[in-house]
Amino acid sequence: MTTPRRVTIRDVARKAGVSVATVSRVLGGDYPVLAVTRNKVMRAVRELDYVPNAHARALSAARPGAIAIVVNTIAVPYYALIAQGVEDQAAQEGRLSLICTTGGDNGRELSIVQLLREQRAEAVILVGSVIVDEEYRKRMTEYAHALAAAGSRLVLCGRPPLGEGVPALVVGFDNTGGAHAVTAHLLSAGHRRILYLGVRPGHTTSDTRVAGYRSALAEHGVALDPSLEVEAEFDRDAGYAAMNRRLAEGPPDFTAVFAGNDLVAAGAIQSLHEHGLRVPHDMSIVGYDDVPPAQDLHLTTVHLPHDELGRAAVRLALGRVTTSPMTLGTHIVVRDSVRPLGPR
């Protein structure tokens, strides 16, 4: 069974008894065509079930390119929600959107960006933190210049700028502010020994949240205790494991936990429960992101406008708005995971 040749615009032209130019004009747009001619063409299109070839179109005409979003994985709500925002805004702008996943591998990310250059993507939106090594920064910087030279835009979402003079738009959440607010929330509930669970050296998202945590403590005159800043990846298992390790050392020397994100909080809560500690009665905890498990866990957390981030990235990429760097506000969502401490 051989593949029967595709129907092309020339087939339509032949069938309709007109030239290919006329067919193109009827399908394409604003060029004047007599109603009777248009009808002949449309009939031929229908009868042959002609579907124009997007590649040929992209090649011949200077049409708008796709909008690509590159994330770690789509299976994590944080990324999925942002991606959905991009998708929605792109659709609204009439653009095709490509979602690519890297699995958190810098090498894969670089080759995906290269792939997107081949696809002549009009915008490349990179989302989420990376551990930036020198090789990566060098190559991504080259890509940034190359994309700019080709008229495409590079947007960095919730990640550090590449450096001075590198053509890239930046939009992110106010992590430091949010972390400050939620830490202040714990402090004003009377907590003084607050475990920060989610240090990740070199990761901007983590670094900025830690910064907010520290500045809030400083403002309240609470001395920093390095032993209260605990490393953990930003997923449920890491939160669970880290809390398990901590609790194995003996009874907790803290009354509250600030988890790097809600997934870490969920894992930590499971560990706490397994150690007989109830939230919020025996231990207060707050999270970050306000993604799905948060509501069910009655978790006080920081709400991030994920959808808005995605939409803003697209608007920036298309030049609809030009404020870069752009910082999106966050707000604390108080649920039921923090218990006020009585006066000492």
Partner DNA sequence: ACGTCTGAAGTAACCGGTTACCTGACATCG
Partner DNA sequence: CGATGTCAGGTAACCGGTTACTTCAGACGT
Q: Are 147 and 221 in contact (CB under 8 A)?
A: no
- Give whichever of 105 and 253 is closer to its own copies, judged by the CB atom: 105
**The Cα angle at residue 169 between residues 318 and 154, in degrees rounded to 5:** 70
Identify which of 207, 266, 252, 262 has the alpha carbon closest to the alpha carbon of residue 231: 207
Residue 209 binds to DNA (criterion: CB under 7 A):
no
Q: DSSP characters for 78-96?
A: HHHHHHHHHHHHHHHTT--
Q: Which of 2, 3, 60, 322 binds DNA (CB under 7 A)?
A: 60
Min dist. Cβ of residue 267 to DNA (A): 48
Give the E-state strand segments of the chain in sequence order: 67-71, 97-101, 123-127, 153-157, 169-173, 194-199, 229-231, 256-259, 284-286, 301-303, 326-328, 331-333
Task: Assess 3 for contact with DNA (CB under 7 A).
Answer: no
- Which residue, 55 or 281, has its beta carbon nearer to its own copies? 55
Nearer to DNA, 36 or 75 (CB): 36
**Which of DNA, its own copies, none lies near 8, with the C-beta cut-off 5 to 8 A by kind?**
DNA
d(Cα 195, Cα 201) in Å, to the nearest integer?
17
293 binds, among its own copies, DNA, none (CB under 5 to 8 A by kind): its own copies
Sign of the CA dihedral 198, 250, 276, 343? negative
Q: Which of DNA, its own copies, none is residue 84 near (CB under 5 to 8 Å by kind)? A: its own copies
Site for DNA in 4-43 (CB under 7 A): 5-10, 17-22, 24-25, 27-29, 32-34, 36-37
Q: Which stretch binds DNA (CB under 7 A): 47-55, 105-113, 178-186, 189-197?
A: 47-55
341 binds, among its own copies, DNA, none (CB under 5 to 8 A by kind): none
Residue closer to its own copies (CB basis): 204 or 301: 301
Q: Which option in DNA, its own copies, none does residue 25 bind, with CB closer than 5 to 8 A by kind?
A: DNA
In angstroms, the CA 46 to CA 226 distance is: 71
Q: How many whole angstroms separate alpha carbon 294 and alpha carbon 81? A: 15
CB 172 within 8 A of CB 157: yes
The site that binds DNA (CB under 7 A) totals a number of residues, namely 32
Q: Which residues bind its own copies (CB under 8 A)?
A: 3-4, 6, 49, 51-59, 73-75, 77, 80-81, 83-84, 87-88, 91, 96, 98-99, 101, 114-115, 117-120, 142, 146, 149-151, 236, 266, 269-270, 292-293, 295-297
101 binds, among its own copies, DNA, none (CB under 5 to 8 A by kind): its own copies
**Residue-wise DSSP of 126-161:** EES-----HHHHHHHHHHHHHHHHTT-EEEEESS--
Pick the closer one to DNA by CB: 51 or 223.
51
* Residue 5: HSE in the Cβ half-sphere, 13 Å Cα cutoff: 5
| d(C-alpha 289, C-alpha 160), whole Å | 18
Residue 149 in contact with DNA, rule: CB under 7 A: no
Q: What does 149 bind: its own copies, DNA, none (CB cut-off 5 to 8 Å by kind)?
A: its own copies
| Alpha-carbon span 197 to 186, nearest angstrom | 14
Give kind and range of the element (H or E) at residue 247.
helix 236-248
Query: Contact residues for DNA (CB under 7 A)?
Result: 5-10, 17-22, 24-25, 27-29, 32-34, 36-37, 50-53, 56-57, 59-62
